[in-house]
Amino acid sequence: MPYPGIWLTAYRSMGDVVCGVFFTGAKSEARAVLERLNEEREEILAELPEGSDTRRSSGELGFASNNECREWLACQLNHFVNAFRPQLKATAK
């Protein structure tokens, strides 16, 4: 991400059968950036796939294999980067 101390995390919890992507960062940087991004929340969510702001189990998403889950996570990461990068570049200036 173009802002220091901010990153995206992709995860899969086998025990809970949950996977997803979330935006996070170091406490000192994250608070200010999240406040700024919250002002653009509707615009950012409009750029993300439907349901991106909802927690879903990977069972609900119907992955047939670990590779299919990894491909989905990679696709989600791309969506998140494309939605957040322009906002973060503006915030970093």
pLDDT (tens digit, 9 = 90+) per residue, 14-27? 776 778 888 888 87
What is the reported pTM? 0.75
CB 24 within 8 A of CB 7: yes
The domain limits of the chain are: 6-92
Model pLDDT for residues 46-74, shown as the tens digit of each residue: 888 877 777 666 667 778 888 888 898 99
Query: How far apart, in whole angstroms, are the C-alpha atoms of residue 66 and residue 68?
Result: 5
